[in-house]
Structure 1
Amino acid sequence: MNKILVSACLLGANVRYDGGNHLIDHPILKAWNERGLLVPFCPEVAGGLSTPRPPSEIQNKYPILITTRDGEDLTPEYLSGAEKTVELARREGVVCALMKAKSPSCGNKRIYDGSFTGNLTDGAGVAAAELMRNGIAVFSEKELPELFAFIEDSERISA
């Protein structure tokens, strides 16, 4: 079976901005992890951000600007993390990614709108967008059935 890149927080690593995680306790993911098929990665930590860290949101998409509530520009760290995410995905030969919904790095369809009020807008986080631009499908933890179907289909194709 092919490898899957996974947001480290979804596998229980305490790398979220608040120092916590969003562990997904699912038997299929556990089995894949035991078989060494999951590649855990946190783009934000890889980009040089600490844990814990202030929450950040995308303020502007073109040109990209990601800041904390206080206006600290963290765009370089987020972009570095996104580049490292794609490099790892290529090196590991991943077929898709399972990433944290709504994150400014990992969100795949909807992200926080930059107002720090919990409002969402259509769009992807920088690492997820970079993966998709490079032909790697990205799913969130809210799309596990779609991820499982994708993997089943990709195994049938590669068999």
Structure 2
Amino acid sequence: MRKVPILVSSCLAGIPCRYNGKAKTDQNIVNAVARGEAIAACAEELGDLPTPRPPAEIVGGDGYDVLQGNATVVSIDGQDLTEAFVAGAQKVAQLATSNGITEAVLQDRSPSCGCGAIYDGSHSGTLAEGDGVLAAILKQRGLQVSARRGQ
């Protein structure tokens, strides 16, 4: 019987898709993807955001609040990116569902992938408790989600 793969953030898999056009490579994750044990996805790129792009943070709460329409994802230059973040998260969640995935390892502190801690929306580098949009939607669907910080 073939083991179900885990979902991982593309940037942890060495793909340069972060807002700054770089990756946050975790060699263990790169190896897991190469072995077919993990599937890499980037919710921000799947939400049709360009790479590179201005950094963004959740304003007014966390990913759960965004999904409920009570918070927004805003770039450092003031652009509301909420729709793109939600659309991308929904696409990744569908990818997880269609592959029977039950576990995800995501890039920490991201407004998409952050798990347990995200930036507070002030673009000052201050962390706050909470989950990003993708982490929230995956947890709502019953996936086990953890965060990892790549290099």
Query: Please, what TM-score do these two structures have when normalized by structure 1?
Result: 0.84
Take 1:71 and 1:33, find their aligned partners in 2: how far apart are those partners? 35
Distance 2:31 2:21 in 1: 26
1:77-107 CA-partner distances (Å, limit 9, x unpaired): 0000111111000011112001000000000
Say which of 81, 85, 88 aligns to 1:81.
88
Q: By how many angstroms is 1:25 displaced?
A: 1.6
**What is the CA–CA distance in structure 1 between the aligned matches of 2:47 and 2:30, rounded to whole Å?**
27
Paired-residue identity, %? 39
Q: Please show how residues 55-94 of structure 1 align to structure 2 within 5 Å.
A: 55-61=55-61, 62=65, 63-94=70-101
- Residue 32 of structure 1 and its aligned partner are, at CA, apart by 2.7
d(CA) in 2 for partners of 1:60, 1:31 = 37
Q: Closer, same or farther in 2 for the Cα pair 1:69/1:32, shift >3 Å? A: closer
Length-normalised TM-score, structure 2: 0.88
Higher mean alpha-carbon deviation, 59-68 vs 115-124, is at 59-68
- d(CA) in 1 for partners of 2:33 and 2:111? 25
**2-side partners of 1:3 and 1:134: how far apart?**
16
TM superposition outliers: structure 1 runs of 4+ over 2 Å:
29-35
Q: What's the C-alpha RMSD, in Å, of the aligned pairs?
A: 1.2
Gaps of 5+ in 1: 143-159
Q: What residue is the counterpart of 1:4 in the other structure?
A: 6
Tell which has more relative contact order, 1 or 2 (C-alpha 8 A, sep 6+). 2
Residues 72 and 90 (structure 1 numbering): CA distance in 2 closer, same or farther, change over 3 Å? same
| Whole-Å separation in 1 of the counterparts to 2:40 and 2:13 | 7
Identify which range, 59-68 or 120-129, moves more after superposition: 59-68
